[in-house]
Amino acid sequence: MGARRLAPWLLLAALLGAPAFGSAAESGTTRIVVVTHGQANDPFWSVVKRGIDQARDDLGVEVEYAAPPSFDVIRMARLIEAAAASKPAGLAVSIPDADALREALDQAVGAGIPVVSLNSGADVSGELGALLHVGQTEHEAGLRAGRKLARAGVVKAVCLNHEVGNVALDRRCEGFAEGLGGDVTLLATSFDPTEIGRAVSAHLSRSPETQAVLTLSPAPAEAVLAALEEEGRVGSVRLATFDLSPAILEALVAGKLAFAIDQQPFLQGYLAVSTLVLRHRYGVVPASDVLTGPGFVTPADAARVIELTRQGVR
C-alpha cells in the first residue's frame, strides 16, 4: 500500500527533474532529506553541504540533498513535496519565501514529518510548523552591518541583491538601511559576475558619491571587488559582504574589504541534520532556535580563518 501511494510522487519527481527520494522503511536506516534554495555554483552552499555530509558520516545515517539548479521557489516547493511523500525520518529546509513554500511545508508537517529550517526563514519557521530554526536573524545581521559602516563614516551605500524574490536577502538589505541610517540604494542583479560588475560600475558612474557596497554572498562580492580594482576605486569605495570564501578572506587580509559577516554555514548544515537525527532516535529537541550568526570577520582576524575556509568548514 505504501509503495502504491508513493508511485505518483515518483512520477512527479521524474517529470520535474527532481530526485526520486528513497524510503526510510526500504533502506532500513535513519534517512533525512535536505532541500534548500542554494545555487550549485555558490561557494556558501558548498560549505552548508559539507556540514550536512559530516553529520551524515558522524551519525551513520542516510542523507539526501536536493536544490533547484537556479533560484526557483516553485521548483523548490515541488522538491519538498516529493521529499515529504517519501516519508523520511526528518526534513530540513531553507525558507527563502514563506508564501511560495507554505503549502508544501503544510503537507509535510501535516503528514507528521519533523521539519527543521536552516539558513533562511527564522521569522516564519515556527509559524510554518518547524521544530526550530538553525541560522541567523537576517534583519539583525543587516542592521549590525549598517551600524558598523555608519561608525566608519559611511552615509551613502548600495545593497546588492543577487536573488530577487529571496525574502531573507530582502531582510538583510532592509536591516542594513535601518542600521546605516543614511541613503541606501537597492541594486538588483542576477548571480552572473559579469552582470554584477557592469551594474556596480554603472551605478558608481551615476552616483559617484557612493561610499560603500554591501553584497549578500561571497561570489557577488568577488565580482564587485574585480570591478572596483579595474576602476581604481578599492579603498575609496568600501566593500563588505555576507559570508566567507578563500578569495574573500584573502581580500580581507589585503585590506580590500571592510568586513565579512559569518553565519557559520557548516554549523547550519551539521546542526539541522543532527537535530532531526536526535529527535528520531531519542525524542529530544532544543527548546529554542539555534543562532549561528552573525559574526564579523575583519582584516585583523581574517588570516586565522583562511585555512578552515579552504577546508570548507568556515
Has residue 96 been placed in a domain? yes
Has residue 6 been placed in a domain? yes
The answer on 158 and 31 residing in a single domain is: no
Instruction: State which residues form the domain around 219.
Output: 138-262+298-310
The answer on 99 and 83 residing in a single domain is: yes
Has residue 289 been placed in a domain? no
Give residue for cell 553541504: 49
The answer on 306 and 204 residing in a single domain is: yes
Q: Do residues 125 and 282 make contact, with C-beta atoms less than 8 angstroms apart?
A: no
Give residue for cell 570548507: 312
CATH number at residue 22: 3.40.50.2300
The one-digit pLDDT tens for each residue of the chain (314 residues) are 333 233 333 333 433 444 556 654 444 689 999 999 987 667 889 999 999 999 999 999 999 999 999 899 999 999 999 999 999 999 999 999 999 999 999 999 999 999 999 999 999 999 999 999 999 999 999 999 999 999 999 999 999 999 988 998 999 999 999 999 999 999 999 999 999 999 999 999 999 999 999 999 999 999 999 999 999 999 999 999 999 989 999 999 999 999 999 999 999 999 999 999 999 999 999 999 999 999 999 999 999 898 888 888 88
The answer on 205 and 114 residing in a single domain is: no
Q: Do residues 46 and 105 make contact, with C-beta atoms less than 8 angstroms apart?
A: no
The answer on 224 and 132 residing in a single domain is: no
The angle at the Cα of 285, spanning 280 to 291, to the nearest 5 degrees, equals 125
The answer on 302 and 182 residing in a single domain is: yes
Q: Per-residue DSSP letters for 81-98?
A: HHHHHT--SEEEE--S-H
pTM: 0.81
Query: What pLDDT was estimated at residue 43?
Result: 80
Has residue 51 been placed in a domain? yes
Query: What pLDDT was estimated at residue 1?
Result: 32
The answer on 43 and 67 residing in a single domain is: yes
Beta-carbon neighbour count of residue 61 at 10 Å?
Answer: 22
The residues with which 193 forms a beta bridge, in sequence order, are none
Has residue 275 been placed in a domain? yes
Has residue 187 been placed in a domain? yes
**What is the tally of structural domains in the chain?**
2
The answer on 145 and 51 residing in a single domain is: no
Cα end-to-end distance, the chain, whole Å: 45
Q: Characterize the bridge pairing of strands 295-297 and 90-93.
A: unpaired
Rounded Cα–Cα distance for residues 46 and 30 (Å): 23
Has residue 288 been placed in a domain? no
The answer on 144 and 96 residing in a single domain is: no
The answer on 302 and 167 residing in a single domain is: yes
Ramachandran category for residue 264: left, alpha or beta (phi over 0 → left; psi -120 to 50 → alpha): left
The answer on 88 and 20 residing in a single domain is: yes
Q: Per-residue DSSP letters for the chain?
A: -HHHHHHHHHHHHHHHT------HHHH-S-EEEEE----TT-HHHHHHHHHHHHHHHHHT-EEEEE--SSS-HHHHHHHHHHHHHT--SEEEE--S-HHHHHHHHHHHHHTT--EEEEES-TTTTTTTT-S-EEE--HHHHHHHHHHHHHHTT--EEEEEESSTT-HHHHHHHHHHHHHH-SEEEEEE--S-HHHHHHHHHHHHHH-TT--EEEESSHHHHHHHHHHHHHTT-BTTBEEEEES--HHHHHHHHTT--SEEEE--HHHHHHHHHHHHHHHHHH----SS-EE---EEE-TTTSHHHHHHHHTT--
**C-alpha dist (Å) from residue 219 to 29, 36, 172, 190, 287:** 37, 18, 17, 11, 35
The answer on 209 and 143 residing in a single domain is: yes
Has residue 290 been placed in a domain? no
